[in-house]
Amino acid sequence: MKIPAYMALDHEFWTGRRVLITGHTGFKGAWLSLWLQSLGADVTGLAGGPPTTPSLYELARVGDAMTEHDVDVRDARGVREAFAAAAPEVVVHLAGQPIVRRALEDPLGTLEVNVMGTANVLDAARTAGPDVRAVVVVTTDKCYAPANAGTGAVGERAPLGGEDPYSTSKACAELVTAAFRRTFFAAAAGPRVATARTGNVIGGGDWGRDRLVPDIVRAVESGSAVRVRNPAASRPWQHVLNPLSGYLLLAQHLWQDPASARAWNFGPPAHDTRSVSWLLQRLAAVWNGAFRWEQDGPSHPVESTYLELDAGAARRELGWRPAWDLERALRQIVAWHTAALAGEDMRRVSLAQLERFGAEWSAQPQPPRPGIALAPAARA
């Protein structure tokens, strides 16, 4: 088949595909697990349990339709054993410590999870045998050096770095991945490894600590005010399904094209890089004034005032583009949490949102540009 320059997922590729997701109980991991289940993939998850209560993982019964291994990525032997049992063909590494403020409280734990956890997953892929063909390591836009902030959209060639334990851990994860790729995964017949950099992902089912939209959700549920650290800061907000679609497309390209084994940005268009105060006001309007907010005190870690990713390479070379703009994302968040508060079946609600996203993504106009051939996937 031909992949158009702007493309939807290849259902044939994913049907029956053995996929291992680390961090499948987290916010992004649970959405990705549901998506792969709906595509007919044979999904295995590796995680130590849901990071929050409540969680999308529990409410949508994500674990009911997949194999699970209760393993922390810091456990190298446990990770290797999970790989051996799953015999994955595609690996998506999402497990990590994602909170900046938690990294200030526990810098060693953050470094262990984000750096050594990544090394353990890559080493398991290295020793797992010939079945592993594509590995996507997900990091963050915080992996870029602070000097890049405020200079416009940041591309993949920008310097890596960090001034705090969290951003440093993610920059190190990128360096570890690059080292494994050059040293162990350079052979044409071996696994192809890429990194995916995304920031400020939002969506239904996120109750993460010290994150704006989860804080708003908790305020709606409790009737308390949202305490906001930096209302003037601008961020590249996007619905969680936008970058997840990019990760899946990247895995498809890795299967066929070794040149895809590099770093990729998955960010929204420039007009969706908005200030925290804008997002608060717009989400309050969509939620019919269900919450109020106030500025918190000054005792918080210094954060960049402006971040924007240049995702032009993913659009040009992978055929990826966001299907839901920020306005659509906010409406889907309100719809999801309104359904959850009403006690609806959240697996059904979540799968319906996935189906809607896929339909709207596929329906977008596609420019007449040549694609690449995707060879039939060999099966063990």
- Render pLDDT for 345-366 as a digit per residue (tens, 0 to 9): 999 999 999 999 998 887 765 5
Question: Are the CB atoms for 151 and 309 separated by under 8 Å?
Answer: no
Whether residue 91 is predicted with pLDDT greater than 60 in this model: the reply is yes
Whether residue 304 is predicted with pLDDT greater than 80 in this model: the reply is no
- Token output for 140: 């963050």
Whether residue 4 is predicted with pLDDT greater than 50 in this model: the reply is no
Is 257 in a helix, a strand, or coil? coil
Task: Note the pLDDT of residue 266.
Answer: 97
pLDDT, tens digit (0-9, with 9 covering 90-100), for 21-40:
999 999 999 999 999 999 99
Share of residues in the chain with pLDDT > 90 (%): 77
Q: Residue 54, preceding bond cis, omega within 30 degrees?
A: yes
Helix boundaries (H) for the chain:
11-14, 27-38, 56-59, 76-86, 100-105, 107-111, 117-127, 165-184, 212-222, 241-256, 276-286, 312-313, 326-341, 346-363
Position 234 confidence tier, pLDDT thresholds 50, 70, 90: confident
Q: How many CB atoms lie within 10 A of CB 12?
A: 14
Whether residue 6 is predicted with pLDDT greater than 50 in this model: the reply is no
* Cα separation of the two ends of the chain: 21
Whether residue 375 is predicted with pLDDT greater than 50 in this model: the reply is no
Residues in the chain: 380
Task: Note the pLDDT of residue 196.
Answer: 98
pLDDT, tens digit (0-9, with 9 covering 90-100), for 177-193:
999 999 999 988 889 99
CA dihedral of 110, 138, 337, 226, whole degrees rounded to 10: 40
Position 327 confidence tier, pLDDT thresholds 50, 70, 90: very high
The predicted model gives 312-324 an average pLDDT of: 94
Whether residue 132 is predicted with pLDDT greater than 90 in this model: the reply is yes
